[in-house]
Amino acid sequence: MKDGSGRSTKPPFLGALVWLLPAATLYWVLAGTGVGNGDILRYSAYFAGCVVLPGVLLLRAFAPGRRTWPEDVGTGIVVGLSYELLGWALFTAAGTQQWLVVWPAAVLVVFAAVPRLRRCWRAQDAPRLPLAWGATLALLLSATLLLYYGGTVSASPVPKYGGDYYQDMLWHLSIVHELGRSVPPEIPQVAGETMQYHWFADAHLASAAQIAGIDPRIVLFRLWFAPIIIGLVLAVAALARQVSGAWWTAPLAVALTTIVQRLAIWKFVGGLGASPLVFLSPSQSFGTTISVGAAALLIGALYRGAPRRSWVIVLLVVCVSAGSKPTAVPLLLGGTGLAALFLLVRNRRIPWPTVGVGVALVGVTVASMLTVAGSTAGTPLRLFGALRAFPGYTALTGDTAVPAPGGWIVEGLRDDQQTLTWAIAILVSVVVSRAVWVVAFLGLAQRRTRTDPAQWWLVGTLIAAMLGFLVVDHPGFGQFYFLGSALPFAAVAAGYTIHGAVTGRRRPARRVIIAGGLLAGAALALAIKAFGNIDARPVSPAEITRAVTEPMLWLAATLAVGLVGWFVLRAVRPQVRGLGLALLMCVAVGLALPSRPWLEWRNAADALTGEAPQIPVPAVPLFTTDEIQAALWLERNAGGYDVVVTNTACLSRPRRPACDARGYLVSGVGGHRTLMEGWAYTQQSLANQGGTNVNYRQLPSPWPDRVELTTKALTAPTPDLLETLRRDYGVRWVFADKRAGTVAERTLDRLADRRYTRGQIIIYKLRD
């Protein structure tokens, strides 16, 4: 029902009840991955009381607005995470990490004690939205939790027994341990060297483990992802309704961001671009969530009348965004720059507030690149480097060399006609797979949205993302993260564009246009997938080119037929004039809808049914049970600041004859600094890629002196050598893995105290 003002008069408790579904789903997905009820309760209490509640209170105090409580929670999570990181830095630098809970508690005490701030405990002038808004968002949030936790999360075992562990997660685990010790952090694998990496996401995990009192391994491998998913979903919903003013654009934007994220038309090319949520990349998920919240706050302060004091929160969140992912601030800068250009042309005067924000973003970007936004070493500006990641590149170009610095275009793209055809087809397929991006740009041709600087701001983020994807050539294809980071902004802009196209029409007409267009686009995608692909996997260059171009020809032909039919309809029925753009937008968005096959949903649910999945240990595992258990023993028994000398820098040698320098057994599972362990992801190693046609993972260590000391300590130790390690590097332990190489066991037994033996692992403690 509605009252005279048009607002919903549904009982408030009905709107709250729908959120029981994602709450139940949250418990089910966490329990389904083997997390105990005690850890679920503690982590939920920590996140609600130390992140969400302080964030919501600060948001309402500094940036009040007409938001519902779920929207307050979404943006409040972003503010709370940013505020938490400030406290983490202060308390950790002071060596009082154990008292970190005081930082969020202080906010609660102040807002409870100061009379003028008590009003922030309840939403002010919150809009009453239809029940369908809350119901659809709750359903989408539940589906997102199910899909992500039933996929990668459930298949990633917590380090306890032997098996294959994704090395990046162990590397992040080493950083989480390190961020519980020092600010700025040292490189856990190279004790004493300052880390250059965008480690803010790991700082949040370290804070969570410290405050909640939960094993960092459980936090990283199980718990952290769920609240970040919740934050992104609700922040996207808040941004979408803030920009468009229409409630239904929120669930549409959320669906396009999380549920629909890759196009399944091209069987051979497959899903194109990174997701905004990546469990195996905490920095991507954390950074995307922070940047969406930053966008909502920026747009609110610049174009939606937020009070001046909101700039305090804006600056804090933008700074945290800069340290979360190198792709984040360039998107914010691109949006601000295009909006400033639009306002300059429209008003014929300099838009100083927007220009000021742009200057501040440039300063934040430079500062972050010099301090925390690491992993950019060895990343030149080179056109089309991303093409090396697509099927067919090597077969068509013959280029097998590791890319080295130099050159303005990727080496394999020269004058070969077939190669150029393939490259153009790939790039066009990337654009088509981002159909919502196309709709966002169409909004600039539409009268209702092209006059709003917020739409130009959103489109500016997409331009920046595409430029980053095309001109950045990262050694590990990190440029794909630009696409994933920009997807929420494209989804919001697409929803706003569709809203502008149907505004002013009667409700039945709006529903027919939107539903009909989305269904038509989905049907078109399914038809092209079924009939427009070659069945056999292509091998020859000609087959590869055909596999990429054939679905595109089907798409072009279908759209041409539709365009002719549309002109005929307009000639016969003049009253349908003006509907073409709206239908085209909906069809374009519909192209992305059938991207999740039912089997994927069913597998996600099956993965969470019953007990936690048991990952079989291969015959030659990456790490044996003895190695994992020894590292866990070291974590429990060594001092927090003790340094370990170990021969586990390389991944399992029986599986990889060459040294793959991504071994993080002691620094990751063991949680301790090492003299020298896996160096692959250090700035120093990334900067050297390609010089000798060797990938950064197989390059020799940039610290050969440490490698030599490590080798001697394990194979030919002397009293003077061990004393040098203890005095100059703070080494207190020797982790000797006979599976990784020769160990002078008898000599070490004379010079150090054997403290642990299991299988092929021996742990020694150096004598004082």
**Residues facing 736 on adjacent strands:** 762
pLDDT by residue (tens digit) across 94-128?
A: 999 999 999 999 999 999 999 999 999 998 888 98
Residue predicted with more confidence, 519 or 464: 464
CA distance linking residue 297 with residue 319, whole number of Å:
13
Reference 89, options 349, 263, 319; nearest CA is: 319
pLDDT at residue number 564: 79
CA distance linking residue 171 with residue 571, whole number of Å:
64
Angle at 621 between CA 220 and CA 649, to 5 degrees: 70
pLDDT at residue number 615: 53
For the beta carbon of residue 446, count every other beta carbon within 10 angstroms: 19
Q: Which two tokens stand for residue 530?
A: 């079924």
pLDDT at 606 over 80: no
CA distance linking residue 169 with residue 172, whole number of Å:
5
pLDDT at residue number 5: 39
Please name the residue ranges forming H helices in 282-408. 282-303, 310-322, 328-347, 352-371, 393-397
The answer to whether the bond into 184 is cis (omega within 30° of 0) is yes
pLDDT at 1 over 60: no
pLDDT at residue number 3: 42
pLDDT at 273 over 60: no
| Beta strand extents in 476-572 (DSSP E only) | none
Mean pLDDT along residues 735-753:
94
Q: pTM (2 decimals)?
A: 0.93
Dihedral sign from CA coordinates of 30, 36, 41, 46: negative
Mean pLDDT along residues 237-245:
96
- Output the DSSP codes for 207-258: HHHHHHT--HHHIIIIITHHHHHHHHHHHHHHHHHHHH--TTHHHHHHIIII
pLDDT at residue number 336: 97
Residue predicted with more confidence, 90 or 535: 90
pLDDT at residue number 399: 79
Residue predicted with more confidence, 571 or 31: 31
CA distances from 113 to 80, 103, 109, 117, 665 (A): 20, 16, 6, 8, 48
pLDDT by residue (tens digit) across 406-445?
A: 778 887 776 677 788 778 878 877 777 777 888 899 899 8
Reference 464, options 479, 442, 446; nearest CA is: 479
Dihedral sign from CA coordinates of 32, 33, 38, 40: negative
In percent, the amount of the chain with pLDDT more than 70 equals 89
For residues 502 and 580, is the Cβ–Cβ distance under 8 A? no
Task: Compute and round to an integer the Cα radius of gyration of the chain.
Answer: 27
For residues 679 and 393, is the Cβ–Cβ distance under 8 A? no
pLDDT band, residue 210 (cuts 50/70/90): very high
CA distance linking residue 649 with residue 504, whole number of Å:
64
Alpha carbon 640 to its chain's center: 30
The mean of the pLDDT values for the chain is 87
Q: Which two tokens stand for residue 572?
A: 């016969």
Q: Domain boundaries in the chain? A: 22-122+129-258+274-374+434-503, 528-607, 625-766
pLDDT at residue number 260: 77
pLDDT band, residue 200 (cuts 50/70/90): very high
| Beta strand extents in 446-521 (DSSP E only) | none
CA distances from 179 to 102, 204, 760 (A): 18, 9, 30
pLDDT at residue number 553: 81
pLDDT at residue number 605: 76
Residue predicted with more confidence, 221 or 596: 221
pLDDT band, residue 6 (cuts 50/70/90): very low
DSSP helix, strand, coil percent of the chain (3-state; round to 5): 60, 5, 35
pLDDT at 712 over 90: yes
Mean pLDDT along residues 342-368:
94
CA distance linking residue 279 with residue 151, whole number of Å:
10
Mean pLDDT along residues 473-484:
87
| Beta strand extents in 677-730 (DSSP E only) | none
For the beta carbon of residue 13, count every other beta carbon within 10 angstroms: 7
CA distance linking residue 708 with residue 494, whole number of Å:
57
CA distance linking residue 752 with residue 622, whole number of Å:
28
Mean pLDDT along residues 300-324:
95
pLDDT at residue number 662: 93
Highest mean pLDDT among 263-277, 317-331, 648-662: 317-331
For the beta carbon of residue 715, count every other beta carbon within 10 angstroms: 15
Residue predicted with more confidence, 91 or 686: 91
pLDDT at residue number 574: 67
pLDDT at residue number 425: 78
pLDDT at residue number 47: 98
Q: Which two tokens stand for residue 348?
A: 């014929």
Non-local CB neighbours of 4 within 8 Å, separated by 6+ positions: none
pLDDT band, residue 686 (cuts 50/70/90): confident
For residues 561 and 587, is the Cβ–Cβ distance under 8 A? no
pLDDT by residue (tens digit) across 555-571?
A: 788 778 777 777 776 77
Residue located via tokens 């399992």? 652
Mean pLDDT along residues 618-622:
72
pLDDT at residue number 274: 67
pLDDT at 4 over 60: no
pLDDT at residue number 30: 95
193: left (phi over 0), alpha (psi -120 to 50) or beta: beta
pLDDT band, residue 669 (cuts 50/70/90): very high
pLDDT at 66 over 60: yes
Mean pLDDT along residues 282-300:
96
pLDDT at 74 over 90: yes
pLDDT band, residue 2 (cuts 50/70/90): very low
pLDDT band, residue 544 (cuts 50/70/90): confident
